[in-house]
C-alpha cells in the first residue's frame, strides 16, 4: 500500500474534524496522521491527512471528502512536489558521561535541547518522517522515556495562496 498525503482546506467550524475522521473510518481506512490548524484566513483550517491505501480507493475517499459541505478544497499530493515536516519532542535518558554523545546526535540532526534534568535531556527536532525515525533509532539505545510527535504537515512547493490552478 502506498502512503497518501491529502491536504484539505475546510471551514473552521465545530465538528468538522469528527466528520472527516468518521468518513475515513466508515470506509475502513486507518489515518496514520491527522493534523489540523488555522490558515492565513481565520475562517479556514488546513487538514493534512496521511493514510496508506490503494490509488483507486483513495481517489474515491478524496472525492467523498470534496463532497462534504464544509470542505473548500482537497488535494492529494501523490503527483505533487511538496515540503513536509513533522515535529518531535523526545526525552532521552542521559547520564553525565553519555550526555555529550546525545547532544552531538541532536546537533547532527539539527535538533535543539529544550530541557535538561539530572538524568535526561529533552530534544526538539523537526523534519521528514524518515529523518525523525532515523533519529529515534539512533537514540533508542540510550533509553527513551517519553516521545511526542505532532504528525505530518505539508504544502506544495513553489505555490502561493493566490495560485489556485490545482
Kindly state whether residues 14 and 76 are assigned to the same domain: yes
Whether the per-residue pLDDT at 159 is higher than 80: the answer is no
Instruction: Choose the final residue of a domain: 80, 114, 131.
Output: 80
Instruction: Choose the final residue of a domain: 80, 106, 140.
Output: 80
Q: Per-residue pLDDT tens for 64-117?
A: 888 887 889 998 888 889 999 999 999 999 999 999 999 999 999 999 999 999
Kindly state whether residues 50 and 118 are assigned to the same domain: no
Q: Which of 37-41, 51-55, 74-78 has the lowest mean pLDDT?
A: 51-55
Structural domain range at position 116: 83-153
Average pLDDT over residues 25-45: 89
Tell me the CA end-to-end span of the chain in Å, nearest whole number: 25
Give pLDDT, residue 44. Answer: 94
Kindly state whether residues 64 and 39 are assigned to the same domain: yes
Q: Per-residue pLDDT tens for 108-151?
A: 999 999 999 999 999 999 999 999 999 999 999 999 999 999 99
Residue 47 pairs with which residues in a beta bridge?
8, 36
SS (H, E, C) 126-148: EECHHHHHHHHHHHHHHCEEEEE
Instruction: Tell me the three state secondary structure of residue 103.
Output: helix
Give pLDDT, residue 54. Answer: 82
Kindly state whether residues 13 and 75 are assigned to the same domain: yes
Give pLDDT, residue 165. Answer: 47
Cα separation, 10 vs 49, whole angstroms? 12
Give pLDDT, residue 51. Answer: 87
Give pLDDT, residue 160. Answer: 59
Torsion angle of the four alpha carbons 9, 12, 14, 17, in this order, in degrees rounded to the nearest 10: 20
Kindly state whether residues 63 and 117 are assigned to the same domain: no
Q: What is the CATH number of the domain that holds 131?
A: 3.30.70.1150
Of the candidates 72, 30, 76, the residue with the CA atom closest to the CA atom of residue 52: 30
Kindly state whether residues 9 and 71 are assigned to the same domain: yes
Give the chain's mean pLDDT.
90
Whether the per-residue pLDDT at 163 is higher than 60: the answer is no
Q: Are 49 and 33 in contact (CB under 8 A)?
A: yes
Cα separation, 30 vs 33, whole angstroms? 9
For residue 166, name the pLDDT band (cuts at 50, 70, 90). very low
Secondary structure (DSSP) of 14-51: TTHHHHHHHHHHHTTPPEEEEEEEE-SSTTEEEEEEEE
What domain count does the chain have?
Answer: 2
Instruction: Choose the final residue of a domain: 27, 51, 80.
Output: 80
Amino acid at each position: 500500500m502506498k502512503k497518501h498525503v491529502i491536504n484539505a482546506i475546510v471551514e473552521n467550524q465545530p465538528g468538522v474534524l469528527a466528520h472527516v475522521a468518521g468518513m475515513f473510518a466508515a470506509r475502513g481506512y486507518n489515518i496514520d496522521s491527522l493534523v489540523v490548524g488555522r490558515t492565513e484566513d481565520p475562517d479556514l483550517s488546513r487538514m493534512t491527512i496521511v493514510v496508506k491505501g490503494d490509488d483507486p480507493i483513495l481517489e474515491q475517499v478524496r472525492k467523498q471528502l470534496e463532497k462534504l459541505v464544509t470542505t473548500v478544497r482537497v488535494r492529494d499530493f501523490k503527483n505533487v512536489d511538496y515540503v513536509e515536516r513533522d515535529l518531535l519532542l523526545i526525552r532521552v535518558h542521559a547520564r553525565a558521561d553519555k550526555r555529550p554523545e546525545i547532544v552531538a546526535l541532536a546537533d547532527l540532526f539539527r535538533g535543539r535541547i529544550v530541557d535538561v534534568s539530572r538524568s535526561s535531556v529533552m530534544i526538539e527536532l523537526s523534519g521528514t518522517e524518515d529523518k525523525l525515525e532515523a533519529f529515534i533509532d539512533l537514540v533508542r539505545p540510550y533509553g527513551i522515556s517519553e516521545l511526542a510527535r505532532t504528525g505530518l504537515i505539508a504544502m506544495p512547493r513553489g505555490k502561493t495562496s493566490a495560485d489556485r490552478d490545482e
